[in-house]
Amino acid sequence: MINEKLEKAINEQINKEIFSSYLYLSMASYLADLGLSGFANWMRIQVQEEAAHAMGLYDYLIERGGSVELEAVAKPQTTWNNILHVFEATLEHEQFVTKSLNELADVADEVKDRAAASFLQWYINEQVEEESTAEDIINKLKLIDSDGNALFMLDKDMGARTFVAPVIG
């Protein structure tokens, strides 16, 4: 049976992952409104990734004999200043999630649940890639600046992204 404090903290993280998915879904619609279908596609894949992250924690909690207790999902922001602002907000959000996962792993350590700590390490490692990908896109957008052709090419690249279900744990 999983420790109650850890169960509560994992439930809170499930909510954050679902919110991430919801936030990126909102960003995808903003990007589609800008006519950037490739970027919108990229963000929609991100939506699926975040939903998979939430489900990984959901399944883990059940596997450990805990109970999933879903909370309300907050309304996400619906508009940004421009495309660069979208990815800066993405990076900021991922940094928030990284901090939250580190705190969650601290709870697992505190209650001496090594299995949970080991499981959560996958999520912490994943954040390195999540942050670095957002940084990479920000750098490209800064380089492109107002070059419409370069933005068109990048949008095409972003449109090629496909969903590969993450193997969690």
Binding site for ligand OFO (CB under 6 A): 17, 20, 50, 53, 94, 97, 126, 130
Min dist CB 37 to ligand OFO, Å, is 22
Min dist CB 46 to ligand OFO, Å, is 7
Long-range contacts of 71-78 (CB under 8 A, 24+ apart): 71/11, 71/12, 71/15, 73/15, 73/18, 73/19, 73/22, 74/19, 74/22, 76/19, 76/22, 76/23, 76/25, 76/26, 77/23, 77/26, 78/26, 78/29, 78/30
Closer of 138 and 150 to ligand OFO (Cβ): 138
- DSSP of 35-48, one letter per residue? T-HHHHHHHHHHHH
| Distance from C-alpha of 28 to C-alpha of 86, rounded to nearest angstrom | 10
Min dist CB 153 to ligand OFO, Å, is 26
Min dist CB 137 to ligand OFO, Å, is 14
Closer of 50 and 113 to ligand OFO (Cβ): 50
